[in-house]
Structure 1
Amino acid sequence: MKILVCITNVPDTTAKISFTDNDTKLNKNGIQYIIGPYDDYALARGVELKEQFGGAVTVLHVGGAEADPQIRKALAIGADDAIRVNCDPLDSYFVASQIAHIARENSYDLILMGRESIDFNSGVVHGLVGEMLGIPSYSPVMKLDIEGSTATIAREIDGGKETLSAPLPLVLGCQEPISEWKIPNMRGIMTARTKPLLVVEPVSVDDMTVPEKYSLPAPKGACKMIPASEAETLIKLLQTEAKVL
């Protein structure tokens, strides 16, 4: 089974975000990067499926060389090789186009990625890739089993969960509890140093969106403590200041 796992290189959730160039670019100084948490679930399940059925797992990242440490970590976890599309990602359409191009050239049985990245949170790349390749895509997938050439998945839908079967190939956006995160061991770390990491240039894609400006959320206001005996004051503040009543 040939499995492609797409990973993002995102700021750690504890990183302090700021912007430069008149709030048009992310200030990358001092930011610690990690593999996107949802991508970690996809990678873990991909490695499990390879161990169960044989084959190979290829990791794909669309981005610059600063992601190489995270790519090597994915190789240490159990991926067999990696591809990095050398570019500065523009938007979800651009990223999906690069993934689809790589997938067409290699005919993967399964394309896994996180349900969304935790920086832009667009949550549309899996759907775009599926459309570009002309194969089904599903998200967010919480369970994945393979039997022969058929996948059985469970995913969240509005108001509940859905279980369905679909023939391979598929594009799936993953989330917990599809698998448990894997921590690379020393043998994996040493082996990852010699696993192939192919760097390719991006295919040409028309710009669909152009970011004009970024802004941080408004700072949290001070907390007002209202004595339990002053319920009328609390109701008035909820009506006039918080405006939730």
Structure 2
Amino acid sequence: MSLAGKKIVLGVSGGIAAYKTPELVRRLRDRGADVRVAMTEAAKAFITPLSLQAVSGYPVSDSLLDPAAEAAMGHIELGKWADLVILAPATADLIARVAAGMANDLVSTICLATPAPVAVLPAMNQQMYRAAATQHNLEVLASRGLLIWGPDSGSQACGDIGPGRMLDPLTIVDMAVAHFSPVNDLKHLNIMITAGPTREPLDPVRYISNHSSGKMGFAIAAAAARRGANVTLAIRSSFTTDATVC
């Protein structure tokens, strides 16, 4: 499927996952999207505006008062221009500021000024992601209709292992395509999916089990739900997973 004719604003904040954004921009453009980039000041410590300008074909915006924008109000111009705003990476700080309705930089202000849907791609240390404040902020954003895409789970730049990794660029592009071209061919189905390890008892003391992460089951459940199915996901009560259903 194509993103031809779609206008996407990519808001980049200051996380290590910002190094993935040139690939994300390139792949969005490969699908036909028109992409413009806005950056926070902290994002420039991880990726240069020139790099993103080269792959997007547009100057990168990083100031609330842009002399080149209409009435020097780049946040209004970009907010009106966008069909979709993608915050990637969305750090814990950016998520908190957007949840609080703050407008103290260009990226957070665009989120207030745009009538377009906003997709949030969390990217942070696993402990920061699990923090009660971050989870509350994500719940606030979801309750307002913002799209929460991810995060993924695995090894992190700090050496930790767990949830908080930004989704890879190909997955983000697929989710953008699905957003603009929803497929509801499973809407008439009720689907039950099991995920995670199983246990088969040998006797009252011993059992046979496996090391399933549950990721495949969660991924199938997410894909079915995106296609309109009424999904019931069954997992063992004591099973915990870092997999995320988007």
The alignment's TM-score, normalised by the length of structure 2, stands at: 0.36
More strand by share: 1
More helix by share: 2
Higher relative contact order (CA 8 A, sep 6+): 1
The alignment's TM-score, normalised by the length of structure 1, stands at: 0.36
